Amino acid sequence: MPGDRSDAPFPGGQGEPFFLVDRLPPAGPFVLDGPEGRHAATVRRLRVGESVVLTDGAGGLAPAVVVAAGRAELTLDVGPSRRADPPAVRVTLVQALPKGERGELAVELATEAGVDHIVPWAAQRCVARWRAPEQIDKGVRRWRGTAREAAKQARRPFVPGVRDLATTAQVADLVAGATTLVLHESSVTPLTAADLPDAGDVVLIVGPEGGLTKEELTVFGSAGAVVVRLGPQVLRTSTAGAVALGALGVLTGRWT
């Protein structure tokens, strides 16, 4: 993709709305249509002269100005594109399935907090169950849609990937080769004492409302995971991941 990586500020610093496109267009005129164009024209009601940012969700950014507004599309004057560097420390959130709509809440908050990948996990004590193939497909698609919308709302150049539903054994495979932290209220090791890398992958495991089983803790511990305590309060599974991501943002320099 054309563009540069200079130290000039990235577009989007003034609160311009982000719109996702499959591929960033070259500089010049471009028609934003489809679902994104309809949202821009009918929901956001953007008008001539207003600024927006196009992103491919993979780090690409391009500033643009509205030059014409239709009923379901915008004609834009697109500027030169840029590419944001991904963080040196990449965080994958393994999220046990929360009940009801709290799953989408967990994904939304984690996306706003900067997560790189999300893995829905069928833990033993999950109340919610995605059993049939159509349930699994629907659940994953909903999480992916939530991540997409939350990334735009947060004006992120990267949309976190949501992987397929994982079993405990599959989660244990993720632990190999990565710094892995398991949040558990019984741990005497605070998150601030964890040995975090300067670069590479961190896996963060959040259990269900019913808590992790001894078997799950044993499996993850045998794979190299470290059990840590986030703080004195007990958080819901839908919010614990985002709070931990905020702490990791500071501790690893992701937020600097």
Q: Other C-beta atoms within 10 Å of 42: how many?
A: 14
User: Has this prediction a pTM greater than 0.85?
Assistant: yes
Rounded-to-integer distance, Cα 30 and Cα 25, Å = 7
Rounded-to-integer distance, Cα 183 and Cα 216, Å = 12
- For residue 4, what pLDDT is reported? 43
Can you give the pLDDT of all 256 residues of the chain as single tens digits?
334 443 344 555 568 999 999 999 999 999 999 999 999 999 999 999 999 999 999 999 999 999 999 999 999 999 999 999 999 999 999 999 999 899 999 999 999 999 999 999 999 999 999 999 999 999 999 999 999 999 999 999 999 999 999 999 999 999 988 999 999 998 999 999 999 999 999 999 999 999 999 999 999 999 999 999 998 888 999 999 999 999 999 999 999 8
Q: Which domains does the chain have, with CATH numbers?
A: 18-83 (2.40.240.20), 89-251 (3.40.1280.10)
- 143 with 188: CB under 8 angstroms? no
